[in-house]
Amino acid sequence: MKPPPFEYHGPRDLGEALETLAAVGAHGKVLAGGQSLIPMLNMRLAAPAHLVDINRLAALAVVRETPAGVTVGALARHSEVARCGAHPLLAQALRLVAHPVIRNRGTVVGSLVHADPAAELPAVLAVLDGSVRLASVGGDGVPTDSVRRDGVQKDGVPRGGVRRDGVQRDGVPRDGGGGVVALPAGTAVRDVPAREFFTGPMESAARPGELAVSAHFPALGARTGTAFREVARRHGDYALAGVCAVVRLDEDLHIDAARVACIGVGPVPVVVDVSGVCERRPAVSVDWPAVAAAVRERTDPEGDVHASPVYRLHLVGVLAEQALREAAREAAA
Amino acid sequence: MTTKLFGEPVQRREDPRLLAGHGRYLDDLGSGALAVAFVRSPHAHARIRDIDVAPALDVDGLVAIYTWEDLPERVGRPLPLLIPHPALTHGRTAYPLARDVVRHVGEPVVMVVATDRYLAEDVCALIEVDYEPLKAVVGLEEAAHGAALVHDDVPGNVGAHLVQEVLSAAGRGAAEAIEAAPHTLAFRLDIERSASTPLEGRGVYARWDGTDLRVYSSTQTSTSVRMAIAAALGLPLPHVEVIAPDVGGGFGVKIVHPWPEEILVPWAAMLLGRELKWTEDRREHFIAAAHERGQVQHVRVGFDDDGRVLGLDVTILHDHGAYTPYGIIVPIITATQLLGPYRIGAYRVEFSAVYTNTVQVTPYRGAGRPQGVFCMERTMDKIARYLGKDRTQVREVNFIQPDEFPYDQGMIFQDGRPLIYDSGDYPRMLRMVKELIGWDDFRPAPGRGIGIGCYVEGTGVGPYEGGHVQITSDGRVHVSTGLTSQGQGHETVFAQIAADRLGVPIERVSVVTGDTRRFGYAVGTFASRAAVMSGNAIALACAKVREKALRIAGDALEADPADLTISEGLVHVAGSPSASIPLSTVAVLANPLRYAFDEETAKATQFAGTASPDRPPVAEGEEPGLEGRGYYSPIRSTFAAGMHAAIVETDPLTAEIKVVRYVVVHDCGKLINPMIVEGQIHGGVAQGIGGALYERMAYDADGQLQNASFMDFLMPYATEVPRIETGHLETPSPLNPLGIKGAGEAGVIPVSAVIASALEDAEGIEIDRMPISPSELFDLRGG
C-alpha cells in the first residue's frame, strides 16, 4: 500500500497552481485534505502522474458569509467550516462527516469534487442549488515547483519561481459572483450549479486543468428549516442512505416548499421536490406515506456488502419523512 | 511489610511507554534495511503458466526477485503442518511461494527486494504473471458439494472428519436419546467469517552477520519461529535468535508460524548479506494472513418437560480456507467446548473441515468457542421458547453442580487430554449475572429485549512454560519468560507475582518476554495461557530464588532460614527487622568474585573475609548467582467460565440495533490483577460485538474479498461498543499453585449468542445467523 510514482508540485500561489494544473492537464490530480485521494493512491486505485498540492495556498482557506449565502474556499477544512457555523444545513451535515481527525484535514470543496454518491456535502450543495467555482488558465506552462515524493527537488528551480506571464504574484482580487478567493488576472472562471456539477459516482464536471476554488451554499430564506438524517453502519461511516431536507413554510406555517437530496441511493445526490405532495398542508397533516413514496420512486439504490437495495429503498423513505418533519419543525421555530 | 500486590489493580506498567509512542514495534526497527514486497495472486484459484520479470528489471533500486524456482529445496518445501491429528487425513499447507497453483487471492507468488517499499511495490506492479484461472470453490455448501476441488488430491474437499460421542448415563447414544426424549427440535445455524485484525499486522526483520542470524518477528511465539527458521535454513539452533519486539495485538493470527515471510525474509537476508524487512500492510493482512469463525451447524436436540437436555447431536461444516497449517484445532474446540457449563445426557458431534479457495482458517481469539457457544445457547433459548419457560431456568436445570467437580465431560480436548473441568460454580454465577442485569425485573417491550449466554473456556493448555528470575547486586529483579506479549499486561502481572513472592517493591522488577536470547524454552501466547503457564512458572522460579536468598542470608545473619522473611527488599528475622541484610548484598554473596568493579562487588572478592576458607566458594550442587528457573507443566487445562447478559433496542423503522446494557460475570480463578482482567474482558466484548453486529468477510463467488479494508470490514469503533459492567467470581483452580485460570479470550466467546438471544426477545423472530446487520434484520422482519 504505497503509491505508484508521481511528480509532486507544491505551488506557492494560486496563479502557479493553475498554471501547473494547466500544464499537467488530465495527468494531474489536486491534493487538498487528502482524506480520499491518499488512500486511493496507496491502494493504487488512482495513479496520477502529477500531484498538485494546494495546501500552501492559504488564500483558499476562507469561509465568507454574506446575505446571499456561504462561500467556502478550497482549503477550508470541515472542522473550520463546522466551527464557524456558517450555514445551518452545512453544520448539520458536517456533524455526520467521518470523525474529528478526518474533519481536521478533509476539505468541504474536496469532498464535493470527490463526488462520492454516499457523501453528505454533495447532497447539501444539491438540495440548496449551490454551485462550485472552477478556475483555470489556458496554455501549457512549465511547472516551476517539481518535487519528488521523497522531498528532493527535481529541477532545482526555487519554489514559487518566476511566473511566465509576469503577473503580480498575489494577484488582483476579483469580486464577481460573490467570489471570496482572489483570482489572478486572466483566470478563466465558471460557476457550475450543483445539478450539473455531479455527473456520476466519483465524477464531477471539473475538467482537467481546472481547480475548484470555492463552493457557494445559498442562504435559506425566512421560515425555512433544514435537517439531515442518515443511517450509517458505524458512527461516522458513509451512510447506507441519507436524506437532507429544506422546508419553507408560508405565513400560516403550512408547507410552502419542500425539497430533499438523497445520498447512497443513486449515482449522484438525488434531489426530489416534494412541495406538490405536501399540498400546502401543515406538517402534521401531510400525507407522509405519499411523500416517502414520491422520494422512493425517484431513487434506484444498489446493493452492496452492507445493505440490500430493498432496505436502502425503505430507508430513504423513512429518512425523508424524518428529515422533512424535522426541517418543518425547525422552520416553525 | 511489602504491600500486597497479587490480586490488586496495579496500574499497567507498560502503558506509559506504549501510550506515549515509545513502543518499539517491528516497523520501528531496521530503518536501514532493504524492503521486501510480494506479488500476490489476484485469483482465488489458478494455475501459474508463466512469470515474466523482465518488464520490472529496469526499476532503479531493485535488488532481487525470487520465485519458487529460485528457492533451495529445503526452503521451497511446503510449510510445516504444525499440529497433526489422526482425523486430519488430508492436511495441506502452502509453499512459501506458490509453486504451480494458487489457491486463494493473496497467496504469495513472487518475492521482491528493493531499496525501499515504494520501489518494491513498483517492481511488483511490473511483474507479469500469466495465470490460467481455475474454478474457485467458495462457501461451505459449494465446498461440501465437492464438484470442484481446491486440492486435486483431496476428494470432496474434506481435509478432516471427526466424530466424538458421549453416551448417556444409561448407555444411550445421542440419536437414541433424542428419539426417546419427550420433545425434540432440529435447526440450522450459520456463523460467518471474521478475523483477528490486530492493529499491527505481521512483519519480519532479519540480520545475518555471516555466522549468526537475528530475526525480529511480530509473532506470538518467538521460540517456535526460531526452531522453524533453523530447520528451514539448516542452521544450528544456537546461531539463530528470534525476538518479538513490542507487538501491536495478535488475537491468534500471530501464533501461526512459520509464515512464508518468516522463512523467506531471513533466507534472502543471508543470501544477499543485507538486512531485510517486510512489513505487512492492511490489504495483505486481509487477504494473506488468516481468518476464522465460518461454520454451518445442523442441530438436533431432545429434552424433557423441564428443558433438561437428554440428547444432542450436532453436525458441523467448518470452512478451513485453502490450507490447514494449524491443524483442526478450531473445529475440535468448537466440538468440545460446545457443552459449556452443562451436563448433557448424550452428545454426538461430527465435523467436516472442508477446503475453500479463501484465506486459511486458524484460531482467532475464542478459537472455535464462539461458534460452539452460539450453538449451545441458541439451543437453550429454543428449548425455553418451545416450553414457554424462562431462558435462565432451562439453563439452570442443565448446569453441572458445584459439588460435581472435577467434572469429566468424557471427551478429548484440544490438548489431547481428557475434557475434565477443574472447578466452578455455575448456579451462583447465574444468580450474579441475573442480579447485575436485573433479569427478573426486566419488562420486555416491542423493540427491547434481554439476552443471556453462558460458556466454559478451557484455558492454560500445556505443554509447559518456564520462567527465569535473577536478582542482581543492585537489588533489581529481572524476570524473563519465553512466551510473548501483545499488549496484554504481562509486564505488570508477572512483576506483581515476582514482587509478591520475593518481597521486593514492584518498581525493582523488570520483565522481558519473547526474546530467545533471554529464555529459549517456550511454547507461545495463545489459548488464554500466559498467566496460568508463565505466571506459575515465574512463581516457581521465585520460590527457588527466595529459598536460596534465605539460605545465604541465614549464613550471613547467623539465623535459621526458617525464621527469615523478606520485605521491601530486605531479608530479616521475622518480627525483628533490625537484623537484616538487603537482597542486593545477598546477590553479591551468592556470586564469589575475584575481581571487584564497585563497592558492592568488592564484598564478594576473595580477600573480603566474607567466605569460609574451609569450603569451596561455590558449594557442591550450588550455582553462582542469585537466580532460579522454574517450569510449569500442567496435567491438563484449567476451565474458566463466564455468563454475559445484554439489553438491546431495535428501531422499528430503520432496524438499527443498539446494545444499551452489557454485563459480564466472569470466573478465571484467582485474580492476579482485576483491572487487567477487566481490560481483557472489555477488549474481548468489543471483538464479540464486532462478530455479532458488524464483521464479516464478504467473498464473492469468484473468491474475491469484497471488503478487504477497514472502510468496508466494519470493526466496531468505541462508539459502537457499549459500556461493560463486570462482576467477578473466584473459584480457584486446584491444578496450579496460584489457583488461576486464563482470561484472555473470555470476553469474546458468548457475545454473538447473547446478542442473538436479546434480539430474538426484542423482535420475536428467531435469530439463527450471525452477524446480523440492520439490512438483514429488516429482511427477517419481512421487509
Which residues on chain B are in Cβ contact (under 8 Å) with A235? Answer: 717, 719-720
Q: Taking the domain B463-632, which CATH number applies?
A: 3.30.365.10
> Å from A305 to nearest chain B CA?
7
Task: Give me the residue spans of the domains in chain A.
Answer: 1-219, 222-333
Cα–Cα distance between B74 and B233 in angstroms, integer?
A: 7
Q: Which cell is B64 given?
A: 532481487
Nearest CA in chain B to A321: B653
For B776, nearest residue in chain A (alpha carbons): A307
B322 contacts B157 by C-beta, under 8 angstroms? no
- Rounded to the nearest angstrom, the minimum Cα separation between A284 and chain B is 19
pLDDT digits (tens, 9 = 90+) for A309-332: 999 999 999 999 999 999 999 999
DSSP secondary structure of B513-545: ESBTTT------S-TT-HIIIIIHHHHHHHHHH
Search chain B and give the residue with CA nearest A43: B283
Contact criterion met (CB < 8 Å) for A318 and B716: no
Cell numbers standing for residue B356: 475453500
Higher pLDDT, B208 or A163: B208
Closest by Cβ to B707, choosing from A44, A149, A305: A305
CB pairs under 8 A between A and B: 71
Judge whether A152 is closer than 8 Å to chain B, CB to CB: no
Q: Do B118 and A149 touch (CB under 8 A)?
A: yes
Which of A40, A305, A326 to probe by mutation at the B interface, max B CB count within 10 Å? Answer: A305
The answer to whether the beta carbons of residues B588 and B600 sit under 8 Å apart is: yes
> Which residues from B are below 8 Å from A96, CB to CB?
none
Instruction: Work out the minimum CA distance from A175 to partner chain B, whole angstroms.
Output: 41
Half-sphere exposure for B48 (CA within 13 Å, toward CB): 24
Q: Is residue B246 scored above 50 in pLDDT?
A: yes
A164 pLDDT band (50/70/90 cuts)? Answer: very low
C-alpha B622/C-alpha B54 separation (Å) is: 65
Asked if pLDDT for residue B254 goes beyond 90, the answer is: yes
120-149 in chain A: CB under 8 A from chain B: 149
Does A2 contact B at CB distance below 8 Å? yes
Work out the pLDDT band at A85, boundaries 50, 70, 90: confident
Cβ-based contacts of A2 with chain B (< 8 Å): 117-118, 121
Contact A305 B709 (CB under 8 A): no
Q: Out of A269-283, B201-215, B458-472, B575-589, pick the least confident.
A: B575-589
Cβ distance of B775 and A44 shorter than 8 Å: no
| Helix B490-502 with B536-557: angle, nearest 10 deg | 30
The C-alpha torsion from B763 through B766 and B767 to B769, rounded to 10°, is -150
Do the Cβ atoms of B778 and A314 come within 8 Å?
yes
The per-residue pLDDT for range B288-303, each reduced to its tens digit, is 999 999 999 999 999 9
Check pLDDT > 70 for residue A162. no
The dihedral sign for the CA sequence A268, A206, A80, A150: positive
| pLDDT, tens digit (0-9, with 9 covering 90-100), for A200-221 | 999 999 999 999 999 999 999 9
The number of angstroms, rounded, from the C-alpha of B371 to the middle of its chain's C-alpha atoms is: 16
Classify A303 in phi/psi space as left (phi over 0), alpha (psi -120 to 50) or beta: beta
User: Which B positions 651-680 lie with beta carbon below 8 A of chain A?
Assistant: 653-656
Tally of CA atoms within 13 A in the half-sphere of B403 that contains its CB: 0
For residue B223, the one-letter residue type is: T
Residue A65: count of CB within 10 angstroms of its CB: 16
Percentage of chain A surpassing pLDDT 90?
84
pLDDT of the residue at A179: 62
CATH fold for domain A222-333: Enolase-like; domain 1 (3.30.390)
A235 vs B: CB within 8 A: yes
pLDDT of residue B216: 98
The DSSP code sequence of B264-326 is HHHHHHHHHTS-EEEE--HHHHHHHS-BEEEEEEEEEEEE-TT--EEEEEEEEEEE-TT--TT
Neighboring chain A residues of B121 at a CB cutoff of 8 Å: 1-2, 4, 44
Would you say B559 and B579 are in contact if contact means Cβ atoms under 8 Å apart?
yes
CB contact under 8 A, B720 and A234: yes
Whether B43 shows a pLDDT value over 60: the answer reads: yes
Predicted local distance difference test score (pLDDT) of residue B3: 58
Cα distances from B655 to residues B189, B320, B697, B782, in angstroms, run 22, 33, 22, 12
**Tens digit of pLDDT for each residue in A241-288?**
999 999 999 999 999 999 999 999 999 999 999 999 999 999 999 999
Cα–Cα dist A71/A77, whole Å: 13
Give the residue ranges of DSSP H helices in chain A: 14-24, 37-42, 78-84, 88-94, 100-105, 108-114, 120-128, 194-197, 275-278, 288-298, 309-332
Average pLDDT over residues B364-379: 97
User: Closest approach of chain A CAs to the CA of B394, in angstroms?
Assistant: 35
**Where do the DSSP E strands lie in B386-471?**
407-412, 418-421, 448-459, 465-471
- Decide if A301 touches B, using CB distance below 8 A: no
Which pLDDT tens digit goes with each residue over B303-348? Answer: 999 999 999 999 999 999 999 999 999 999 999 999 999 999 999 9
Q: Which of B654, B696, B720 sits opposite A318 (nearest CB)?
A: B654
Percentage of residues in chain B with pLDDT exceeding 70? 99
Q: Are B674 and B7 in contact (CB under 8 A)?
A: yes
Burial B390-409 (b: 16+ CB within 10 A, else e): ebbebbbebbbeeeebebeb
Confidence tier at A174 by pLDDT (50, 70, 90):
very low
Mean pLDDT for B406-424 is 93
B720 CB near a chain A CB, below 8 Å?
yes
Beta carbons of B778 and A318 less than 8 Å apart: no
C-alpha B18/C-alpha B282 separation (Å) is 21
* Beta-carbon separation of B656 and A231 below 8 A: yes
Which residue in B has a C-alpha nearest to residue A312's C-alpha? B775
pLDDT at B351 over 70: yes
Side chain identity, residue A75? L
Q: What is the pLDDT of residue B578?
A: 80
- C-alpha dihedral sign at A80, A82, A88, A90: positive
C-alpha cell at B314: 450436532
Task: Domain B32-134+196-288: give its CATH architecture.
Answer: Alpha-Beta Complex (3.90)
pLDDT at A178 over 60: no
Q: What is the average pLDDT value for chain B, to the nearest integer?
A: 95
Q: Mutate which of A1, A235, A312 to disrupt the B interface (most B C-beta within 10 Å)?
A: A1
* DSSP annotation of B451: E
Half-sphere exposure of A22 (CA within 13 A, CB side): 18
CB contact under 8 A, A149 and B282: no
What residue in B sits closest to A307 (Cα-Cα)?
B775
Query: H or E element: which one contains B76?
Result: helix B73-76
Enumerate the residues of chain B whose CB falls inside 8 A of the CB of residue A308.
Answer: 775, 778-779
Residue A311: list chain B partners with CB under 8 A: 655, 774-775, 778-779
pLDDT at A170: 33
A231 near B CB under 8 A: yes
pLDDT at B615: 85
The verdict on B773 touching A (C-beta cutoff 8 Å) is yes
Fold entry, domain B159-195+290-462+635-780: Aldehyde Oxidoreductase; domain 4 (3.30.365)
C-alpha to C-alpha distances, A203 to A21, A217, B385, B510, nearest whole angstrom:
18, 20, 53, 57
> Do residue A233 and residue B714 have CB atoms under 8 angstroms apart?
yes
Res. B377: pLDDT tops 80: yes
Distance from CA of A320 to the nearest CA of B (A): 12
The mean predicted confidence, pLDDT, of chain A is 88
Confidence of residue B630 (pLDDT cuts 50, 70, 90): very high
pLDDT digits 0-9 by tens, A86-97 = 899 999 999 999
A313 touches chain B (CB under 8 A): no
B775–A308 C-beta distance less than 8 A: yes
Closest-CA distance of chain B to residue A314, Å: 8
> A310, B783: Cβ pair inside 8 Å?
yes
The yes-or-no verdict on residue A139 having pLDDT over 90 is: no
**pLDDT given for residue A272 in this prediction:** 98
Give the distance, in angstroms, between the CA of residue B416 and the centroid of all CA atoms in the same chain.
18
pLDDT band per the 50, 70, 90 thresholds, residue B598: confident
Strand partners, A270: A262
Q: Which residues of A touch B280 (CB under 8 A)?
A: none
CA dihedral B479→B485→B491→B496, nearest 10 degrees, is -80
What pLDDT was estimated at residue B742?
94
Domain boundaries, chain B: 32-134+196-288, 159-195+290-462+635-780, 463-632
Q: Which of B164, B89, B748, B161 is nearest to B416 (CA)?
A: B164
Closest-CA distance of chain A to residue B778, Å: 7
Strands (E), chain A: 7-9, 28-31, 50-53, 63-66, 69-73, 131-136, 146-148, 188-193, 198-200, 203-204, 211-218, 224-232, 239-249, 255-263, 270-273
Q: For residues B508 and B2, what is the distance between their CA atoms, to the nearest angstrom?
A: 13
Q: What is the ipTM of this complex?
A: 0.92
pLDDT tens across A15-45, in order? 999 999 999 999 999 999 999 999 999 999 9
B714 touches chain A (CB under 8 A): yes
Chain A positions touching B35 (Cβ under 8 A) are none
Q: Is the pLDDT of residue B540 over 90?
A: yes
Q: Is B778 in contact with A149 (Cβ distance < 8 A)? A: no
Does any CB of chain B come closer than 8 Å to the CB of residue A232?
no
Indicate which of A96, A230, A306, A325 best probes the interface with B, i.e. most B CBs within 10 Å of its own CB.
A306
Pick the CATH number of A1-219 from 3.40.50.150, 3.40.50.300, 3.10.25.10, 3.30.465.10: 3.30.465.10
With an 8 Å Cβ cutoff, is B782 touching chain A?
Answer: no
Query: Residue A175: what pLDDT?
Result: 33
Same topology, domains B32-134+196-288 and B463-632? Answer is: no
Report CB contact under 8 Å: A314, B716: no
Which of A235, A237, A315 has the CB atom closest to B654's CB atom? Answer: A315
Confidence bin at A176 (pLDDT 50/70/90): very low
